Amino acid sequence: MGIGRLLAAVACAMVLTAPSTAAATSMRHHHHSAVMTMEYAVGDLKAVVHAPRTLVGVLPLVFHFRGFDEIAQSLAQRGSVVVLVSDRTALDRHVELWRSLSRGEGPLVERFRGFADHVVVAEP
């Protein structure tokens, strides 16, 4: 293969494999890698929150129990906000805190204000 053909083949490969700058990234294809971990305590309610460092669009909100930090980190890397609660009997109260936050209200607003437009808790 001549040098001209080799350069043409490399140029074609570069064009075909280069990321497109014209298309917007959809949430399905958006990959989060950096994760932030935060804690909150509201009265007797305590939780650890794992979330993508960059919040884009409306993200799945997952509630689980402490001790599943590796799973929470993995889910957050894939674009979920994971709330690990320490008291299983208080899960409904944590859900209500996040429901209030999604409306821009409640005790989590001061610390988690940036999450308000990115999570929605389904009404029962």
Q: pTM score, two decimals? A: 0.70
* Residue 98 contacts residue 107 (beta carbons within 8 Å): no
Q: Which is nearest to 57 in space by CA: 28, 36, 20, 98?
A: 28
Q: What is the pLDDT of residues 79-114, one digit of tens each?
A: 899 999 989 899 999 999 999 998 899 999 988 988
CA–CA dist 98, 61 (Å, integer) = 9
Q: Which is nearest to 59 in space by CA: 43, 47, 77?
A: 77
